[in-house]
Structure 1
Amino acid sequence: MKQAFVFFLLAIVPLFCFSQQKLSTKSKKATELYYEADNYWVRGQYTAAYEILQTAVDKDKNFLEAYFRLGVIDKSRGNTSEAEKYLQKTLELKPDHAGANFELGELYIQIGKYQKSIEATKRYLALNPRNTERKSQANRFITNAEYALENLDSTRKIFPEPLPKHINQYAMQYFPVITADQKTLLYTRRLGTTMNHDEDLVVAKKGEGGNWSEPQSISDNINSSFNEGTCTISADGRTLIFTSCYGRNGYGSCDLYMSKKTGDEWSRPENLGPKVNSSAWDSQPSLSADGRTLYFVSNRPGGVGARDIWITSLDDSEVWGKPTNPGGEINTKFDEVSPFIHPNSKTLFFSSNGRKGFGGFDIYLAEKVGDNWGEPENIGYPINTGEDQVSLFVTADGKKGYYSHENLDDPKVKGEIYQFEIPEDLQIDTKARYVEGIVYDIETNDPLDAKVELYDVKKDQRISMVYSDSINGSYLMVLPEGEQYALYVNKPGYLFNSKSFDLSQELESEQVEIKIPLQKITLGGKAVLENIFFEFDSYEIKAESKTELNKVVSFLKDNKDIQIQIAGHTDSKGDEGYNQNLSEKRARAVYHYLIEAGASATQLEYRGYGDKKPLFDNSKEEGRQRNRRIEFEII
């Protein structure tokens, strides 16, 4: 927000640098003061210029130009009541003052006086201004004001409240992000209200009582004497990307840097490199839940507008690819900023001043359908107002929102972090749950670093991938609602372990905790294939088994010196002979599929065991269900 403020001031300086313009005042002293203020103005010393202009209007109570400039400065500072007073005074002295009508048209949108905005802007346009860019802006004022009047909905029950004072203890705090388990809050804090004050990343933890701890520096390896700005963190809290604009080796005015957490230690940040960073401004990152897709903002050439949202992803070699621009599906010829990709990886929130809205920057959401984005939707009032709205974060369960609110009333605390409960009718369609636990060696109980992959079994498509921590074996994987998933845990030298999750049905908990043991590849080692499915009372393999079967093929190709037996098992219901026959046919069906998919027949054999080797109690339905299985054994 402060960068936008400075940019605005620099942009309007040329409008007022007419060194010897004809002024309305006849007071020599007022004239001298006006030109003295001009000298401070062109050097960016706006406070000094403002104070001198106030003295000038004391010398001449009808000094038109001084009132107008005071109004413009107050407007740019966010002092809306003073800005309105001075601009109205300008119009009292000259009702057809084009600049004052234009500035009021924009100001009234910012403070939610939409009808007055329309009236002021129409007065400006009636003067037939020649500046085509400002005419275009004025027409957008009217469009937005009319949209706002039609879409103000006071019935929405949203009550934002600031986080506790110990969280909002700094001069500015903004761009909050939260891990999927909602136990870690990370945000940027600034020690003062100007761009010259230091920015660092701080973290707070939620205790057992639900209260946030005192914020601490995230790490001495990350925070420095330079600035560490807007950041993003993966759902498991172990991959961090942040912005730094000076002091570090970079490629442009602001670059993106990455740090990885192993155990409790963050690595020293590394620049994402010239594929991602450019000679332009690159900032405001947002990571997908698994930390492998990055959304960010850049004003580099080749985009749609001034500042666009760009997207890059990690390949299987852990290298970031060349960023792509989603084009007009998301970006406009104006500015799109502060992207946030929800943990469901389908819902993108972002701010834009180039779409129909309530004025300034509004927050929109777009849903991903296949490889494309649906039409962005304004999330509406009272979240969006005439003021700029940026940096929204929505929790994985879709129930709570966090954002940074610019406080215009308190000069000591200019930006605070707010939270609000999202009404059920406004919550996103696809929420996300998560599975967490540790990966360990089944024999030694030692934690393992392993690849954890999530697949949509109906599409046979990998949704996300993370690695368990090499120090403590911990992992966290986000599970978007609405689909059936297979979870695979792989490590060279070990049998893979698979789990099944059906999120097309409602789960009782938002969290699933699973400890995943891995068994070394040894004679007699067994693995249950939990994502192989058959039609009821049949040996016909269902299509959603393809992902699991292909994993077995890959495992055999990676371990050519082993042989496995495909074993079919049933529960104890029904005739023993029938169960034996069904188990053999199912094992044979898997055997043939694997060979047709590229596995070597010399590595495979199959056998049916009927109901002779139960793993669980057959007197209970849950036990019977788990006893109906396909497993393989190293022979």
Structure 2
Amino acid sequence: MSIIKQPVFRLIVLSLFTLASPVLAQETVSVTGANSNQNDWNPVWLGDGRLLFTRAFHPENIGGTSDRGDIWMIEKDENGKWREAIHRADLSTSGYDLALGMPNVITLLVFHEEGNGNRGIHEYAKFGRDWNYRRRLEVPKIDQFSGLVSGSVVDGKLIFLSGETPDSMGNEDLYVFELVFGITWSEPINLGTVINTFGQEVSPLFDSKTQRLYYSTNNRPDAEGKDVYVALKTGESWQDWSNPIRWDQINSAGSESGLAIIAENEVVWGSSQNSGGFFDLRSFATEVELDIPSDFEPALRRSLARESADISAPEKSVTYLTEEKIKPISPKIMVGKPEIGLFLDSVQLESKPLVWIAVDAKEKIKLDFTVEFMSKKNPVTFSKTDSILYADLLSKGVDEVKVSSPGYFPFTFSTDELIVDQPNIALLAKVQKGQSIKLEKVAFSRGTAEFEGLDTELALKELSTFLLENKELSVRIHGHTDSSGDPGLNKALSLDRARAVRDYLVDLGVEFERLRISGWGGTRPIASNATEAGRQKNRRVELEVQ
């Protein structure tokens, strides 16, 4: 019997508040130093006491709070305790970055999805405790992988990857690439219908010694959210697997995804059980014997071939969504986005309205909000904001969408950052004493205090409007540079840039007395100055509530 690939579309809704408290046989705890108010997941064990993971939408990411994932690192101290996480700007871009692991003792493979949508697997060489970029691997069809991409490298000869491709059964499927020679790899091989379903399969980790595959799925009868399952490879083909078994020891009423087995009695994994729908890294509170499923039963492998009848018809024909066609399934996660989902099986939509959700960046509570649409050329208005299509924004020349909530700094999306098949999550920082935000779109000509680009002027006009609407606020404007050049000149330049921002705001009507300035030069870096990416992050202007 063959499996027909039905078109699958998802409507994501917020479920920050419905996760139950799990009851597990062993107590689990958040991994010290590795968890933030954002999404932390995909642990990769390097050995030598170090572990990499991906952190989404963190202010210190290269792309700031709109960055879907940079690579961070934690390491153990002399007592075996985890230190605070360190941002690895040398392994990160302004897009989505995911460590896959080390094929040998001096090489690390990293998946990058850059802001322009360019996807690839790249090789870095170890240099002391740092990494130097080497080259991009030749991995066929890697540009076709979208959705929640995750994976791992095994013995330097196999790369396991999850993602949505034209050949996927529904959402993300699991695939394997085999090394051909040098840096050239085979085309992706689907792991078959024993593993892959019409739901979502992610975070594959294969142990070549035991032939066990660890992965997460939200589409098995006993799954609670996205759970970790284990299957045994039973034959020569990559479609030959035992029936997967749920790993009850680490699963909870939340979702689990991403796994690093550090030792026989230590494992780290990603979980949303205590984080309001965002992933944290967790482990057992004390050393325990890992109760990994082992009582495997053979499974019947089904064909991946599509039925020939009616499959050639376009998948995105017009069908309107009705309530009867929606059936709830287990949650789905996109990096940095709260979990939740509805599964629209065999439903086709011509288009869906854009959806925004505002969330307190620290407390992860849902906020009431308003949406404004801005254009660099002409004023933009819509009679209704809850049924706008992406095409509507393009037709009216919308450049930015601003999400605002009383008592919070507004969050701005550029039009090309918006997504149409899931909510656009605005993480809003609360306006309170000591709160700092980076003025992401304020740029200067190199080595000067002169503003550069229309985006800078638009950002400062938005800031002036916010300050004029919140007249009780006083703020300090902090200027920063990288460490290149003369420290004295850097400090003067950073102060001049802070002054330029203040003067512009005063010209727009903000009272001079509410605006203080500081220039710190390169004395307060937020990233390594050893790389251009890190230096770019350090050249910034911040706003602090007084």
Pick the TM interval, shorter chain.
0.3 to 0.5
Q: TM-score when scaled to structure 1? A: 0.39
More helix by share: 1
Q: Which structure would you say has the larger RCO, counting Cα contacts within 8 Å and 6 or more residues apart?
A: 2
- The structure whose Rg is larger is 1
Q: TM-score when scaled to structure 2? A: 0.45
More strand by share: 2
